Amino acid sequence: MPSDALARPRLPRPRMTPGCACLVLGLAVLALALVELDARSGLLPGLAALVGTPGEATGTLVLHFAWWPRLAMALLAGGGLALAGVLMQQVLRNPLAAPTTLGVASGANLALMAATLLAPGLLGLGREWVALAGGGLAMALVFTLAWRRGLAPVVVVLGGLVVNLYFGALSMVLLLFHQEELKGLLIWGAGSLAQNGWQDAAFLAPRLALGALAAAWLLRPLAVLELDEAGARSLGVSLKHLRLAGLGLAVFLTGCVVSVVGIIGFIGLAAPNIVRLAGARRLGARLVWSTLLGALLLATTDLLLQRFSGALPTLIPTGATTAALGAPLLLWLIPRLRLGGEAPPREARALGTRHPAPGRLATWLALGLAGLAVVALLAGQTGAGWHWAAPADWQLLQWRLPRMLAAAGCGVMLAIAGTLIQRLTGNPMASPELLGISGGSAIALMGAIFLLPAPGNPTLVAAGTLGALVTLVVLVGLNRRSGFQPERLLLTGVAITALFDAVRAVVLAGGDPRGQQVIAWLSGSTYYVDPTSALAVIGAALLLALAAAPLARWLDILPLGGASASALGLPLARARLVLLLLVALLTAGATLVVGPLSFVGLLAPHLARLLGFSRAGAHLLGAALAGALLMVLADWLGRQLLFPEEIPAGLVASLLGGAYFMWGLRRL
């Protein structure tokens, strides 16, 4: 081999660029559109149907009033959601921020549900205005919670999450008791682009154009947010008003899109991240490329769905299909694209003040938990009204005790898992649900319910465990080479969770009677827990809690960043793998009992911080006690509030924890 060949520098491997990704998707949209037009009425008549007066032929009328408006709506909605996603991620300094972060989608969904049940006359004014009002109410509530802290990114993120969670729980309660009346909204909630004219596109286009112009006008001020707060203030920038402008614009764009086509959540998260990871670092480039990529991604997905919808056994909403196709794309891109280094995460500091005696505080929490357990076992409603049972009344206690033990055990496991993942990643939005373990377990469980004839509890447990293990293998496989870098872990989990959301949306929108069982499980009910399962849950919770206790030192060091942690002698990759494995075990164990949407793993660690548990060891203990307390109280209240009907414990936990959390944010 010649010596100059040895000295020749190795060329860098080519990597995906934003332009390349948009070109590929653009060619896909063009090819799919031409094939569809040719199959429907011929290429030239199909193109003429866009601009010309439609003839009397049915195919031409369908193209002019349905197909072309649907394509235009896909491009507009995808671009608007992606643009909103870039703005939110820039203002909140968080790659997991998305157009649904501030609760706009859940607020719109709740407003439509409430109007359908309580004031159907409002829908005559226009469904989009009802949805826009609900989204605006959610936005106003988030801004109210965060205004005293100058709309600090971490407070806005947490306020948005809890409002999203709270409104989502209220919507699920309405759905549980009025499933038949709200069946049509399940399709809207999964994102539907079906059109019967150009009026929706005409409504949306000028508003998105106005939003794009406003984003261009705010381009230079928003770029200042890439500096730290001290640097931005030194330039004379009012951070509070700048954040209000950026978030307000993002919420306006999201509200307009959601009010017309429903909830399509994955585009606003995936498109900005794909563009940023592909090399678009400057804000201007990210705004342009993300808008284009989001439009093309949604249009490609919808054209594929229309192409193959005839071969599908049930209605598949576009929003669900977008997540189902976009999530594998994000999973494929994550190992191939560059992410940030091992710098300490920004905005990872605690919200509450440190309690001077965390041990005494933990003792009071434990005593409160014991007292609540006694009340949950002995007090409750029966057919004859309120009744205080005797401790020897085993016939009643054998029904209440398993539910109480399961609720406490699941609360402990989810709370510890949430504490581990938030400290591991330094991200206040991280939770066991977001890591994808819950979603993987849920997909397997739903597959067992719908594919197997009359599966029993052992079969469902085996399916859920297998789904959790497969998800863990995917997480490890995609992140092993990067040393389990936190941002990669979260993005991988987001993609897996998006797949779960897609499967859930398809299942609920299909109208299958078994969907009621799925809804009950998703909402976190302990109704089906037997004594054997309860003992297994509480035993697993105690064992895994003991396994987490020695890891407190790692959790104190990891938020300092990868370089500092390695300098202090911490085996970084091994520590992250061990913590990730423990999170997976904790999440899978709890998900199998109370479902994947209880969100105790998100709330309990923050509740512990607000109470004053700061150091890692105390934080783990405080979160575990808070999680158990929250779930036991939620399970008991869920059985009493609407007796003999029940509200699942997971939903009540979301409502209780969310109310306390909002109160805590206002006091900061």
Q: Are residues 476 and 620 in the same domain?
A: yes
Q: Are residues 310 and 413 in the same domain?
A: no
pLDDT of residue 614: 82
Residue 350 pLDDT greater than 50, yes or no? no
Residue 409 pLDDT greater than 90, yes or no? yes
What DSSP character marks residue 404? H
**304-313, long-range: CB < 8 A, 24+ apart:** 304/32, 306/36, 306/70, 307/32, 307/35, 307/36
pLDDT digits (tens, 9 = 90+) for 80-131: 999 998 998 888 777 767 777 677 878 888 888 888 888 888 877 777 778 8
Residue 209 pLDDT greater than 90, yes or no? yes
Q: Are residues 416 and 320 in the same domain?
A: no
pLDDT digits (tens, 9 = 90+) for 546-595: 999 998 888 888 777 777 777 777 777 788 888 888 888 888 788 777 77
Region 220-234: mean pLDDT is 70
Residue 648 pLDDT greater than 70, yes or no? yes
Residue 370 pLDDT greater than 80, yes or no? yes
pLDDT of residue 15: 60
Residue 300 pLDDT greater than 80, yes or no? yes
Q: Are residues 324 and 452 in the same domain?
A: no
642 in a structural domain: yes
Which phi and psi angles does 122 have, rounded to 5°?
-65, -30
Where is the domain boundary, 283, 309, 333?
333
pLDDT digits (tens, 9 = 90+) for 602-635: 888 988 888 888 888 889 999 999 999 999 998 8
CATH at residue 558:
1.10.3470.10
Cα 384 to the center of its chain, rounded Å: 42
Top mean pLDDT of 50-64, 223-237, 537-551 is at: 537-551
Region 313-320: mean pLDDT is 63
Region 443-472: mean pLDDT is 79
Number of domains in the chain: 2
Residue 264 DSSP SS3: coil
Region 311-323: mean pLDDT is 64
pLDDT of residue 484: 67
Q: Given pLDDT bands bounded at 50, 70 and 90, which one contains residue 177?
A: confident
Domain interval for residue 627: 406-667
Region 44-61: mean pLDDT is 72
Q: Are residues 456 and 548 in the same domain?
A: yes
Give percent helix, percent strand, percent coil of the chain, each to the nearest 5.
75, 0, 25
Q: To the nearest whole number, what is the mean pLDDT of the chain?
A: 79
CB 420 within 8 A of CB 583: yes
Residue 656 pLDDT greater than 90, yes or no? no
358 in a structural domain: no
Q: Given pLDDT bands bounded at 50, 70 and 90, which one contains residue 188?
A: low
Q: Are residues 327 and 439 in the same domain?
A: no
Region 120-146: mean pLDDT is 81
227 in a structural domain: yes
Q: Are residues 443 and 585 in the same domain?
A: yes
Q: Are residues 290 and 429 in the same domain?
A: no
Cα 176 to the center of its chain, rounded Å: 20
More confident residue, 534 or 50: 534
Q: Are residues 581 and 485 in the same domain?
A: yes
Q: Given pLDDT bands bounded at 50, 70 and 90, which one contains residue 2?
A: very low
pLDDT digits (tens, 9 = 90+) for 254-273: 888 887 887 787 788 888 88
Region 507-530: mean pLDDT is 70
Q: Are residues 426 and 294 in the same domain?
A: no
Q: Given pLDDT bands bounded at 50, 70 and 90, which one contains residue 295?
A: very high
* Of the listed ranges 310-324, 364-378, 447-461, the one predicted with least confidence: 310-324
More confident residue, 111 or 307: 111
94 in a structural domain: yes
7 in a structural domain: no
More confident residue, 297 or 396: 297
Where is the domain boundary, 284, 305, 333?
333
* Of the listed ranges 166-170, 383-387, 527-531, 600-604, the one predicted with least confidence: 383-387
- DSSP for 547-608 reads HHGGGHHHHHHGGG-HHHHHHTT--HHHHHHHHHHHHHHHHHHHHHHH-S---HHHHHHHHH
Q: Which helix (H) or strand (E) holds 243?
A: helix 239-261
Where is the domain boundary, 278, 308, 333?
333
pLDDT of residue 282: 85
Residue 422 pLDDT greater than 50, yes or no? yes
Region 222-244: mean pLDDT is 71
CB 591 within 8 A of CB 468: yes
Q: Given pLDDT bands bounded at 50, 70 and 90, which one contains residue 57?
A: low
Q: Which helix (H) or strand (E) holds 664?
A: helix 649-667
* Of the listed ranges 54-68, 82-96, 244-258, the one predicted with least confidence: 54-68
Q: Are residues 282 and 154 in the same domain?
A: yes
Q: Given pLDDT bands bounded at 50, 70 and 90, which one contains residue 8?
A: very low
* CA neighbor of 301 nearest in space, from 504, 80, 70, 91: 70
Region 523-530: mean pLDDT is 76
What does the CA dihedral 137, 141, 143, 146 come to, rounded to 10 degrees?
A: -170
Q: What is the pTM of this model?
A: 0.70
Cβ-in-10-Å burial (0-12, 13-18, 19+) of 26 comes to middle
Residue 503 pLDDT greater than 80, yes or no? no
Q: Are residues 601 and 453 in the same domain?
A: yes
319 in a structural domain: yes
CB 250 within 8 A of CB 84: yes
